[in-house]
C-alpha cells in the first residue's frame, strides 16, 4: 500500500515535470528567429464602400442618399494607411510594399519593407495556409544536371493585425487569398501572384480632417511578385 504522503509528493513531482515540459515546448516554438526573403509586390484593389451623398437630398423629405460607392486602391494607398498617413501623401522611396517569405516553408506575410535598414516598418497581413496543391516539373536529361521547379496553388486565410494611427489605419477584416507560385529548388519564390477578396477594415481621414471607420468590400485585389529578392529580414516568430 502506498502511503498518502508519498502519493502526494509523486503527484507534485509529475506536475513539476509537466510544467517544465510545457515551458521547454513554448521556448522551442516561440521566439525562433526566421530569415525571410523579401520581394517587391505590385498591388491593385477594386471594391466598394458606403458613401453618404450629402449633395443629393430627396426633395421635401430631408433624406440623404447613402450609396454603395466603387473605389480603387493601389500599393501607395496600402502603404500610407499602414504607416498612419493621409492617402494623398507621397510614399518615401525607402518604403516598399513587399512579400516576406521563408524559403521551404509556408511562412509568409505582406509588409512595408525598408531596404536601407532591412527592417519591417509595418506588417499589413499575415498569410496562413488553408489548403495547397503541389506540382513538380523537371528539366534536363541524364547527361545534364536536372533542375526541378515546384508549382503550387494554395488558399490562404489573410489576417490583418492592424497598423497605422488613430487618423489613418488598417484595422482588420476577413479575407481569403488564392495564391499561385513557382519555387526554386531550395523552395524560394521565383514568381508569385494572388487574388484576394473579402472585407478590409480601415480608418481614413478626409480633406476636412474628419476620421471615419470605413469597411472596404473587396471585390478583387491582385498581388504579384517576380524577380530577385530586394533584401532579407530576420524576425522572431
72-121 per-position pLDDT tens digit: 999 999 999 999 999 999 999 999 999 999 999 999 999 999 999 999 99
| pLDDT above 80 for 64 | no
pLDDT tens-place string over residues 26-56: 444 445 889 999 999 999 999 999 877 666 5
Q: Which three cell numbers stand for residue 13?
A: 513531482
* pTM of the complete model: 0.80
pLDDT tens-place string over residues 124-146: 999 999 999 999 887 776 656 77
Cα–Cα distances (Å) from 84 to 153, 162, 208, 217, in that order, read 33, 11, 17, 21
Cα–Cα distances (Å) from 134 to 45, 104, 149, in that order, read 27, 13, 11
**Residue 61, pLDDT score:** 58
3-state per-residue secondary structure call for 7-68: HHHHHHHHHHHHHHHHHHHHHHHCCCEEEEEEEECEEEEEEEEEEEEEEEECCCCCCEEEEE
Best CA proximity match to 121, nearest among 76, 62, 185, 164: 164
**Residue 50, pLDDT score:** 87
Phi, psi angle pair for 89, to nearest 5°? -75, 140
pLDDT tens-place string over residues 157-206: 999 999 999 999 999 999 999 999 999 888 899 999 999 999 999 999 99
**Residue 42, pLDDT score:** 96
Amino acid at each position: 500500500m502506498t502511503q498518502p504522503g508519498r502519493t502526494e509528493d509523486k503527484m507534485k513531482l509529475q506536475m513539476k515535470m509537466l510544467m517544465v515540459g510545457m515551458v521547454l515546448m513554448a521556448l522551442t516554438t516561440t521566439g525562433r528567429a526566421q530569415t525571410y526573403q523579401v520581394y517587391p509586390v505590385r498591388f491593385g484593389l477594386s471594391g466598394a464602400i458606403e458613401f453618404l451623398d450629402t449633395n443629393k437630398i430627396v426633395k421635401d423629405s430631408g433624406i440623404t442618399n447613402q450609396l454603395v460607392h466603387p473605389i480603387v486602391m493601389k500599393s501607395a494607398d496600402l502603404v500610407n494607411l499602414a504607416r498612419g498617413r493621409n492617402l494623398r501623401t507621397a510614399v518615401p522611396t525607402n518604403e516598399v510594399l513587399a512579400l516576406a517569405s521563408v524559403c521551404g516553408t509556408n511562412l509568409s506575410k505582406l509588409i512595408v519593407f525598408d531596404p536601407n535598414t532591412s527592417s519591417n516598418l509595418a506588417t499589413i497581413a499575415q498569410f496562413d495556409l488553408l489548403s495547397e496543391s503541389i506540382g513538380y516539373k523537371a528539366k534536363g536529361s541524364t547527361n545534364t544536371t536536372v533542375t526541378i521547379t515546384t508549382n503550387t496553388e494554395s488558399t490562404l486565410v489573410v489576417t490583418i493585425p492592424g497598423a497605422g494611427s488613430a487618423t489613418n489605419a488598417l484595422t482588420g477584416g476577413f479575407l481569403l487569398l488564392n495564391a499561385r507560385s513557382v519555387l526554386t529548388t531550395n523552395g524560394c519564390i521565383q514568381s508569385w501572384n494572388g487574388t484576394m477578396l473579402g472585407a478590409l477594415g480601415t480608418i481614413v481621414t478626409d480633406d476636412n480632417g474628419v476620421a471615419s471607420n470605413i469597411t472596404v468590400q473587396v471585390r478583387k485585389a491582385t498581388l504579384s511578385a517576380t524577380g530577385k529578392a530586394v533584401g532579407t529580414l530576420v524576425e522572431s516568430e
